[in-house]
Structure 1
Amino acid sequence: MARCIYSADRKSALPARLTLERRIVVNRGIPGLRGTEHIGFTVPDLLQAHDFFVDVIGCDFIYSLGPMQHDDDWMTEHLNVDRRSVVKELRFYRCKFGPNFEVFEYSADPPQQPQPHNNDIGGHHIAFYVDDIDAAVAYLQNRGIRILGQPVASQRSAEGQRWVYFLSPWGMQFELVSYPTGKAYELVDTKRLWHPAQPDL
């Protein structure tokens, strides 16, 4: 059972409560969990993806691995893919504050499934936080990136946030998001979503 923390000063009660909540969180879930280390995904052309992440987005390329293939069931057992699959190359990138990207290119044989949309099972997108969403949109448009509509102002708990989707050259879904003055939920809840502009909170 977590030990209750009392504060002699009402002004310091909130930090004490946050400390208690953090202690409680540490005691549940995967032992030793620290956070999201990387996000992995597959692209059709790794060189195209490299140019996009480094030259357009501004990520740093760290290192590459591969090729990777096996004559037995290793690929199925460890990566949950067809045993004949071949990883041509994979590359790791760091994009400022946030999880690293592990980007794969597989051989096209056996045949690959189409890229999922957001309403498909396994559909996903990656969101980048920016300080000025209008400036970021203008920059991407000047680089020939397809923007899906105009930035949208969120409502209810997310009020204060603006967001907009955009597509990579191979059609993968990304998002820009910005809330420089915070979100409405922060006024009523002591818990916080992780914020790349405030990584230590």
Structure 2
Amino acid sequence: MPLLNHVGITVSILERSIDFYTRLGLQPPPPDWVFTIEGDWLSRLVAEDDAVIRVAFLPMGEGAVLELLEYRQPQGEQSNSRPNRDVGAMHVALNVDDIDAVYADLKDSLAFNSEPQTVATGPWAGNRVAYLSDPDGTPVELVMDVS
């Protein structure tokens, strides 16, 4: 069975996104985990001519990382106008120990969709969750396992 290696999110301003995700509890990237990549190999990999990308890896435990990518060249457009329903849209779910405390600490400075909710059905019934968006509109789900 494959194990999660990383989740990559394209962002518009790398430092702003690093700040956002570290405020949610992720560890800041070590200095050598923020870098620029470019070259023919990268352009072939991402199918973009003359690609130049600033990258940050934020450790997530168990060897997984959150990879933030700021395309310097070519620059893209923000297009996730309906990220909760557009086909191909994604979200990142992060486990937290106390969702109500995280919400109380951040609700005045970050835009949550609502206060934490209790999952009503399915295998996660009883867990507590909250949604908010990162600075570029990517949905982020906070999850507190109550089992």
Q: TM-score, normalised by structure 1?
A: 0.62
Alignment of 1:29-108 (within 5 A): 33=2, 35-54=3-22, 56-60=23-27, 61-62=29-30, 63-70=33-40, 74-79=41-46, 81-87=47-53, 89-96=54-61, 99-107=64-72
Find the aligned partners of 2:59 and 2:126 in 1 and give their Cα distance.
27
Shift of 1:126: 0.8
Shift of 1:112: 3.3
- 1:145·1:169 contact (CA, 8 Å) conserved in 2? no
Say which one has the larger Rg: 1
Q: Deviations over 1:47-75 (max 9, x none)?
A: 11122223x123221312314143xxx44
Find the aligned partners of 1:118 and 1:48 in 2 and give their Cα distance.
22
- CA RMSD, Structure 1 to Structure 2 (Å): 2.3
Shift of 1:92: 0.8
Closer, same or farther: CA 146–124 of 1 in aligned 2, 3 Å: same
Aligned to 1:146, the other structure's residue is in SS state coil
Aligned to 2:107, the other structure's residue is in SS state helix
- 2:131·2:141 contact (CA, 8 Å) conserved in 1? yes
* Aligned positions, number: 142
Aligned residue for 1:119?
85
Q: TM-score, normalised by structure 2?
A: 0.81
Aligned residue for 2:101?
135
Kindly, what percent of the aligned residue pairs are identical? 27
Closer, same or farther: CA 155–163 of 1 in aligned 2, 3 Å: same
Shift of 1:41: 1.5
Closer, same or farther: CA 101–110 of 1 in aligned 2, 3 Å: closer
Closer, same or farther: CA 97–137 of 1 in aligned 2, 3 Å: farther
- 1:44·1:106 contact (CA, 8 Å) conserved in 2? yes
Runs (4+) off by over 6 Å:
none
Q: Hey, which of these two has a bigger chunk of strand by percent?
A: 2
Find the aligned partners of 2:34 and 2:65 in 1 and give their Cα distance.
13
Aligned to 1:52, the other structure's residue is in SS state helix
- More relative contact order, 1 or 2 (CA 8 Å, 6+ apart): 2
Shift of 1:42: 0.9
- 1:85·1:110 contact (CA, 8 Å) conserved in 2? no
Q: Deviations over 1:156-187 (max 9, x none)?
A: 3222112110112232210111122x2xxxxx
